[in-house]
């Protein structure tokens, strides 16, 4: 059986969009680049969950909790 390691990452955009616009969504192009960079290192996405996080009590910010997996090196 192969040994695997896991990495849990919370991906979210900067707080500036939330402060200016009142809410901030994840940019799909930057999110794809983030996933591709991890894929180059051998990581693959196991699961992902979307989350709306509060910022300073009044603003919303979209985030993704991403669980990554790869063979242990």
CATH number at residue 53: 3.30.110
Give the gyration radius of the chain's Cα atoms.
15
Q: How confident is the model at residue 55 (pLDDT cuts 50, 70, 90)?
A: low
pLDDT in tens, 5-53: 999 999 987 655 444 554 567 778 988 999 999 999 999 999 999 887 7
Rounded to 5 degrees, φ, ψ at 65 are -95, 115
Question: Residue 34: exposed, middle, or buried by beta-carbon count in 10 A (0-12, 13-18, 19+)?
Answer: middle
Residue 65 CA: distances (Å) to CA of 1, 12, 43, 46, 59:
27, 9, 15, 11, 19
Please answer whether residues 5 and 69 qualify as being in contact, where contact means their C-beta atoms are separated by less than 8 angstroms: yes
Domain span including residue 21:
4-71
Total of domains in the chain: 1
Determine the pLDDT at residue 18: 40
């Amino acid at each position: 059986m192969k040994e695997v390691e896991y990495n849990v990452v919370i991906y979210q955009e900067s707080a500036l969009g939330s402060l200016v616009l009142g809410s901030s969504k994840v940019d799909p192009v930057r999110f794809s680049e983030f996933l591709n960079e991890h894929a180059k290192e051998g990581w693959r996405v196991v699961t992902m969950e979307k989350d709306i996080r509060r910022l300073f009590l009044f603003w919303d910010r979209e985030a993704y909790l991403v669980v990554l997996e790869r063979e242990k090196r």
